[in-house]
DNA sequence: TCGCTCTCCGCAAACGTTTGAAATAATACT
DNA sequence: AGTATTATTTCAAACGTTTGCGGAGAGCGA
């Protein structure tokens, strides 16, 4: 009663032939006479027949669908990843189901359940900030569903992954500040349970060490959003900690810091040079424009999807997992240049 | 060979009972003995059984999935709409398939085909900038699949829709500038072939007329992005057009204008008051923060989805379509307040 | 006329699940 | 013991497709 959509059976009934003949006629099978083919194709076109993808999925045990678990699509970076994923998937005839975890562990677990229940052929995951238990990912693997992590990967979990070289990018960002002669550089760090948070901090430290600068604990502050940055800056100013540079774990944090400094009369980049991370829509519209790291979201999406499709098609039982590292590059703008 | 996922049949075989018994045991059917239920549930849990949603969809001719066609998720507004959609859909036990049209008509047509082929139970659409032929939407309707438009609707197409009152919002935005005593207010307008562009201009004009202010053609400038705004402002300054207010068709335009004014030494909001449209991530982080119109993307998503679900459940054959108008409201921030 | 080869088509089973109806087994009642 | 009742389980069909196999009919050579 529901779906008014035409089926092969409907066509068969109408033409007084069997469903199998219709099926074969539609795929131009040599066994079927030209006459029959013509009749079938004509009626199919006329009645706007669309093969029922659900029935196909069931029959072929392949849904031609890939699932994506993503923290939050509101971020420019993640939505560009999705665009990359979609483009590659569509070209390969695959559909995409996107699930937001909203940075919640629970939602992420539900998401994987949903995707498995819908028999997606493969899953792309970027883990939520909360996630520290990885059993749900094991479940995916137990069910032999190909899995590729992108950007936010699980430390120590042997799997395909595509990431940006956060450490190197953070190193370059910090080095860029050092090269401009800055010596007292603060890092606003992300949560240290995420690999990206750790790597960015390590890159910062590496650059400092390499330049023979001391690494002070009070220069590493956990602040990864606009508001926390504001508070952190106020604390710095109150404590009269002298600094001349800031490398922030993401752009929003950098911008929050920059504005707070500016409101207190501190000149950017004159007195303090600032570099963000994860180049988005924001960095180009601040004043001064913000030096930042381009994470190549779109490219990451395409590469991750290609890896996944490759796994889907060549289903080896014992794959050796690959890690693809994109080198992010620094986009130098006004906020850091003297 | 593929999906290693456990099925009801597997459980039945293992327990040497029939699939129907397993099915009933899993749903706690009274016909099944406690003993059997226990055995089934135990094995199901142990082997991590997930009902095959694909088979279910086929059987029940309902996929419990809704399809969403969206121009581009990179925009804050659209991604908040998606969040609203997802939250309502999930609560109702529905999945969501998101398709980006990327503002392309062709892609939009393919998207509808894909969604129909996958037998989604309903479709939410915001049309692309390119779309001027609506046959694909008729096809959706012919197939009796419920359809709700959100934000970008099809003029003259009788259907369920949820939109914001752009005209009213633009009127309020302009009136807000007038109430602060500003009399020479410019409008940076969007493309006039889109309804939203026209409505926002009309709201601006209405506010001016109502206040007895003259509406000058040279005060209405087509500029709807950061760069065009920059150029438009430079032209204004060069021509020494005296103004004291600006209402822009979107935030990015407002910000482009604001920064250009500031660079030329003009004080915002002191000399010129600025109001944007479509409250996003940007408006809170500019300096001064930007007065703007909150379009309630999340709410729009929830309402559109509720309408759609309602249609899905009560399938009347001859529905009378509804239009829901959200009144967008002005978020007053620093850029407009004297 | 028989047998062989083509050409074209239909049957039936399968994918995983649900569900009305029928079957079986166990128990109760007379 | 015979029958009715209840409890528990299985059968079979269906959702829309695909596909191996078998079959009908035609054409043809011997």
Q: DSSP per residue over B11-66, as a string?
A: HHHHHTS-HHHHHHHHTT-TTS-HHHHHHHHHHHHHTT----HHHHHHHHT---EE
Dump pLDDT digits (tens) for A282-303. 888 888 999 999 999 999 999 9
Q: Of the candidates B78, B64, B63, B62, which has an alpha carbon nearest to the alpha carbon of residue B128?
A: B78
DSSP A5: -
Structure tokens at A41: 């194709």
Cα–Cα distance for residue pair A118/A98, rounded to 1 Å: 12
Model pLDDT, residue A2: 39
Cα–Cα distance for residue pair B66/B147, rounded to 1 Å: 10
Q: What is the mean pLDDT of residues A7-17?
A: 95
DSSP assignment of A215-243 equals --GGGEEE--SHHHHHHHHHHHHHTT---
Cα–Cα distance for residue pair B254/A125, rounded to 1 Å: 36
Using a CB-CB cut-off of 8 Å, the residues of chain B touching A53 are: 117-119
Residue whose Cα is closest to the C1' of C7: A31
Q: What is the distance in angstroms between the Cα of B210 and the nearest Cα belonging to chain A? A: 35
Q: Which residue of B has its CA nearest to A80?
A: B74
Distance A34 CA to C4 C1' (A): 25
**pLDDT, greater one: B130 or B335:** B335
Model pLDDT, residue B156: 85
Between chain A and chain B, how many beta carbons pairs sit less than 8 Å apart? 141
- What residues 24-63 of chain B have any CB closer than 8 A to a CB of chain A? 48, 50-55, 57-58, 61-63
CB contact under 8 A, A58 and B54: yes
Model pLDDT, residue A1: 30
CB contact under 8 A, A117 and B50: yes
Tell which strand C nucleotides have any atom below 7 Å from a protein Cβ.
Answer: 7-20
Using a CB-CB cut-off of 8 Å, the residues of chain B touching A52 are: 58, 117, 119
Please name the nucleotide lying closest to B5, CA to C1'.
Answer: C16
To the nearest whole number, what is the mean pLDDT of chain A? 93
> Given a cut of 50, is residue B232 above it in pLDDT?
yes
> Given a cut of 70, is residue A281 above it in pLDDT?
yes
What is the edge-to-edge ordering of all strands in the sheet holding B220-222? Answer: B220-222, B185-189, B245-248, B273-275
Residue whose Cα is closest to the C1' of C6: A31
Cα–Cα distance for residue pair B241/B6, rounded to 1 Å: 73
Dump pLDDT digits (tens) for B176-215. 999 999 999 999 999 887 788 899 999 999 999 999 999 9
CB contact under 8 A, A119 and B82: no
Structure tokens at B338: 């004297």
Confidence grade of residue A3 (pLDDT, cut at 50, 70, 90): very low
Dump pLDDT digits (tens) for A136-189. 999 999 999 999 999 999 988 999 999 999 999 999 999 999 999 999 999 999
Dump pLDDT digits (tens) for A112-128. 999 999 999 999 999 99
Distance A95 CA to C7 C1' (A): 39
Is A114 an 8 Å CB contact of chain B?
yes
CB contact under 8 A, B54 and A54: yes
Confidence grade of residue A315 (pLDDT, cut at 50, 70, 90): low
To the nearest whole number, what is the mean pLDDT of chain B? 93
- What residues 221-280 of chain A have any CB closer than 8 A to a CB of chain B? 226, 252, 255-256, 259, 262-263
Q: What is the distance in angstroms between the Cα of A206 and the nearest Cα belonging to chain B? A: 31
Helices A195-210 and A166-179: crossing angle in degrees, nearest 10, is 40
> Given a cut of 50, is residue B3 above it in pLDDT?
no
Model pLDDT, residue B280: 82
> Given a cut of 70, is residue B2 above it in pLDDT?
no
Q: What is the distance in angstroms between the Cα of A309 and the nearest Cα belonging to chain B? A: 15
> Given a cut of 60, is residue A245 above it in pLDDT?
yes
DSSP A188: E
Terminal Cα-to-Cα distance of chain A (whole angstroms): 71
Confirm if B226 and B252 have CB atoms less than 8 A apart: yes
Model pLDDT, residue A5: 87
Dump pLDDT digits (tens) for A185-241. 999 999 998 888 999 999 999 999 999 999 999 999 999 999 999 999 999 999 999
Confidence grade of residue A64 (pLDDT, cut at 50, 70, 90): very high
Q: What is the distance in angstroms between the Cα of B254 and the nearest Cα belonging to chain A? A: 11
The pLDDT > 90 percentage for chain B reads 86
Dump pLDDT digits (tens) for A68-117. 999 999 888 999 999 999 999 999 999 999 999 999 999 999 999 999 99
Confidence grade of residue B290 (pLDDT, cut at 50, 70, 90): very high
Using a CB-CB cut-off of 8 Å, the residues of chain A touching B52 are: 58, 117, 119
Using a CB-CB cut-off of 8 Å, the residues of chain A touching B48 are: 139, 142-143
From A63, A100, A287, residue closest to B54, measured CB to CB: A63
Tell which strand D nucleotides have any atom below 7 Å from a protein Cβ.
Answer: 7-12, 14-21
Using a CB-CB cut-off of 8 Å, the residues of chain A touching B116 are: 5, 50
> Given a cut of 50, is residue B1 above it in pLDDT?
no
Model pLDDT, residue B286: 86
Cα–Cα distance for residue pair B322/B167, rounded to 1 Å: 19
Residue with tokens 């990912």: A137
Cα–Cα distance for residue pair A28/A251, rounded to 1 Å: 55
Q: Coil, strand, or helix at residue B70?
A: strand
Confirm if B316 and B301 have CB atoms less than 8 A apart: no
Q: Is this prediction's pTM over 0.75?
A: yes
């Amino acid at each position: 009663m529901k779906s008014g959509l035409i089926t092969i059976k409907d066509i068969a009934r109408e033409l007084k032939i069997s469903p199998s003949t219709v099926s074969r006629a539609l795929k131009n099978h040599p066994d079927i006479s030209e006459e029959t083919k013509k009749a079938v194709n004509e009626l199919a076109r006329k009645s706007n027949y669309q093969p029922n993808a659900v029935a196909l999925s069931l029959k072929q045990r392949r849904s031609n669908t890939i699932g994506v678990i993503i923290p939050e699509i509101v971020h420019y970076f993640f939505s560009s990843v999705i665009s990359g994923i979609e483009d590659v998937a569509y070209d390969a005839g695959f559909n995409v189901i996107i699930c937001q975890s909203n940075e919640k562990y629970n939602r992420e677990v539900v998401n994987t359940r949903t995707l498995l229940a819908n028999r997606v052929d493969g899953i792309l995951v970027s883990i939520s900030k909360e996630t520290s238990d990885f059993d749900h990912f094991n479940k995916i693997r137990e069910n032999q569903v190909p899995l590729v992590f992108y950007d936010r990967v699980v430390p120590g979990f042997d799997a395909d992954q595509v990431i940006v070289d956060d450490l190197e990018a953070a190193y370059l960002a910090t080095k860029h500040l050092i090269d401009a002669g800055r010596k007292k550089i603060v890092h606003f760090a992300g949560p240290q349970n995420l690999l990206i948070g750790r790597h960015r901090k390590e890159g910062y430290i590496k650059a400092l060490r390499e330049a023979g600068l001391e690494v002070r604990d009070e220069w590493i502050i956990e602040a990864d959003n606009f508001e926390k940055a504001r508070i952190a800056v106020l604390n710095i100013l109150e404590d009269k900690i002298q600094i001349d540079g800031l490398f922030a774990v993401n752009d929003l944090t950098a911008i929050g810091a920059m504005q707070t400094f500016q409101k207190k009369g501190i000149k950017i980049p004159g007195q303090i040079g600032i570099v963000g991370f994860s180049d988005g829509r924001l960095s180009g519209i601040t004043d001064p424009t913000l030096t930042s790291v381009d994470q190549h979201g779109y490219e990451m999406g395409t590469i991750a999807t290609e890896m996944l499709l490759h796994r889907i098609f060549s289903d080896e039982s014992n794959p050796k997992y690959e890690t693809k590292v994109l080198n992010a590059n620094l986009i130098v703008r006004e906020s850091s240049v003297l």
